[in-house]
């Protein structure tokens, strides 16, 4: 069997419905700051099961908005995982906070709650402000357990759910808890990058059940400005003696705090709304692909660990841990299979090494990195293409 077309690790799918949705906006009167934004927010919140959603320009902007809304200050410490995209940590640095990495669970690849608890136990009260767990690869963090820990130490939680829209874990009562539903995290964030489950080109979303945080996020994503007809206006110093918001002229606005332009466009929102209609179909296909990989590589001697078949896993990535990872990576590329590595541990990046982190600080994360490789995973991956990927890996190991 030979397939000559390149097989990437991830890829977007744009349907005719997607194209029609975008064209409809292009023919409308609003390309940005129009009605599609709120429509996307409301439909995404309903899909996730959260009370509120705020659309943003990208996932990194979502993270930055969250740390601003939670008032991260200079010198405050926040705990996160080293196995994530750098933005999960960088958002703390944007606000002047200090990032503290805790090690991962070597079986799940998720932030290890026992490592987090050891950090908290060793610190004086008030040292840490919050925790940023990541639903890495699409596997949902047990946020119920993290919430208990956060409550004990008076911490907030930002859930980085960029890999896991539609993912879930089972709580202590046997109920499904969807990633981003706001039951255990103060804020959750999502990304709509092309390789994600919902592709808008760029884009992000913050979900929450906290009305005050929702209001704050809305202001911060748009320069910190509140318009006179905005239901969330809170200034007591109305201009020109105007007594209430209902009497505000249309031009009146207040910059109440320093914010950013982190807005999504109606073009992207329309694409997101269309993609959301088939999100469950995409999840079903991802889980079928994951099951095929698991069955193909289960008990293979060259496989040290793999993502496996896990209830609630959203499978943004399917990961193998293997011996001779570099050799396999290069061999796959020679056969037009473009696997990827997720991720170089954040604490070993030059920037964070300058903050005092060193090799050997987080042994589980470092061991994982030496062996991990992400296989092609996207809903339009065909059975024939997946079979070619599996056969090529087996040939490399003479399995």
For the stretch 261-293, pLDDT in tens is 999 999 999 999 999 999 999 999 999 999 999
pTM above 0.85, yes or no: yes
Alpha-carbon span 135 to 133, nearest angstrom: 7
Map residue 8 onto helix, strand or coil. strand
CATH entry, 279-396, from 3.30.70.1400, 3.40.190.290, 3.30.460.80, 3.90.1150.10: 3.90.1150.10
**Average pLDDT of span 294-303:** 97
Which of the 8 DSSP states describes residue 198?
A: S
Tokens 């349907």 belong to residue: 15
Mean pLDDT of the chain: 94
Residue 394 phi/psi, 5-degree rounding, is -60, -40
Q: What is the pLDDT of residue 229?
A: 47
Select the more confidently predicted residue: 105 or 235.
105
Provide the percentage of residues in the chain whose pLDDT is more than 90.
Answer: 90
Domain 16-276 fold is 3.40.640
Give the dihedral sign, CA 162/208/92/123.
Answer: negative
Alpha-carbon span 18 to 76, nearest angstrom: 43
Answer yes or no: is pLDDT of 169 > 90.
yes
**Average pLDDT of span 351-374:** 98
Alpha-carbon span 232 to 52, nearest angstrom: 14
Select the more confidently predicted residue: 225 or 261.
261
Answer yes or no: is pLDDT of 344 > 50.
yes
Which of the 8 DSSP states describes residue 263?
A: P
Residue-by-residue DSSP string for 73-133: -TT-EEEE-SSS-THHHHHHHHTT-EEEE-PBPTTT-SBPHHHHHHHHHHSPTTSEEEEE-
Q: What is the pLDDT of residue 84?
A: 98
Q: Poorest-confidence range of 35-49, 59-73, 230-244, 279-293?
A: 230-244
Q: For the purposes of burial, counting CB atoms within 10 Å of the CB of 5, is it exposed (0-12), middle (13-18) or buried (19 or more)?
A: exposed
**Average pLDDT of span 230-234:** 49
Pair of tokens at residue 7: 């097989």
Confidence of residue 238 (pLDDT cuts 50, 70, 90): very low
Answer yes or no: is pLDDT of 234 > 60.
no
Alpha helices per DSSP H over the chain: 16-26, 35-48, 59-69, 87-94, 113-122, 143-153, 211-220, 266-276, 279-297, 325-334, 350-353, 363-371, 383-396
Confidence of residue 102 (pLDDT cuts 50, 70, 90): very high
**Average pLDDT of span 325-353:** 98
Domain locations along the chain: 16-276, 279-396
Answer yes or no: is pLDDT of 249 > 70.
no
Confidence of residue 232 (pLDDT cuts 50, 70, 90): very low
Pair of tokens at residue 298: 């289960």
Tell me the C-alpha to C-alpha distance, in Å, between residue 88 and each of 136, 281, 338, 371: 11, 28, 25, 22
Q: What is the pLDDT of residue 226?
A: 81
Select the more confidently predicted residue: 353 or 229.
353
Is-same-fold flag (16-276; 279-396)?
no
């Amino acid at each position: 069997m030979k397939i000559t077309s390149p097989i990437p690790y991830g890829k977007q799918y744009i349907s005719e419905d997607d194209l029609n949705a975008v064209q409809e906006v292009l023919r409308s009167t609003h390309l940005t700051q129009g009605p599609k934004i709120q429509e996307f927010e409301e439909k995404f919140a309903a899909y996730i099961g959260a009370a509120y959603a705020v659309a943003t320009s990208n996932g990194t902007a979502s993270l930055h908005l969250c740390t601003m809304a939670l008032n991260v200050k200079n010198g405050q410490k926040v705990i996160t995982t080293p196995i994530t995209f750098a933005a999960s940590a960088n958002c703390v640095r944007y606000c002047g906070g200090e990032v503290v990495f805790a090690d991962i669970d070597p079986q799940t690849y998720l932030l290890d709650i026992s490592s987090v608890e050891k950090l908290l136990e060793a610190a004086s009260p008030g040292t840490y402000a919050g925790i940023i767990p990541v639903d890495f690869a699409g596997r949902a963090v047990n946020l119920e357990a993290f919430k208990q820990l956060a409550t004990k130490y008076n911490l907030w939680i930002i859930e980085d759910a960029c890999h896991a829209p539609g993912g879930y874990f089972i709580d202590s009562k046997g109920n499904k808890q969807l990633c981003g539903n706001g039951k255990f995290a103060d804020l959750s964030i999502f990304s709509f990058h092309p390789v994600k489950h919902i592709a808008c080109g760029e884009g992000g979303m913050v979900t929450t059940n906290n009305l005050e945080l929702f209001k704050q996020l809305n202001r911060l994503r748009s320069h910190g400005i509140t318009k006179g007809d905005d239901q969330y206006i809170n200034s007591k110093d109305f201009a020109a003696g105007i007594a209430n918001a209902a009497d505000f002229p249309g031009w009146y606005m207040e910059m109440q705090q320093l914010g950013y332009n982190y807005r999504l466009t109606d073009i992207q929102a329309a694409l997101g709304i269309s993609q959301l209609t088939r999100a469950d179909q995409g999840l079903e296909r991802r889980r079928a692909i994951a099951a095929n990989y698991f069955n193909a590589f289960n008990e293979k001697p060259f496989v040290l660990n793999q993502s496996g078949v896990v209830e609630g896993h959203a499978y943004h990535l399917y990961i193998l841990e293997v011996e001779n990872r570099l050799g396999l990576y290069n061999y796959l590329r020679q056969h037009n299979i473009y696997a990827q590595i997720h991720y170089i541990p954040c604490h070993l990046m030059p920037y964070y090494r300058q903050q005092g982190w060193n090799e050997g600080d987080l042994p589980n994360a470092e061991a994982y990195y030496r062996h991990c490789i992400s296989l092609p995973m996207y809903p339009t991956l065909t059975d024939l293409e997946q079979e070619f990927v599996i056969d090529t890996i087996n040939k490399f190991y003479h399995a």
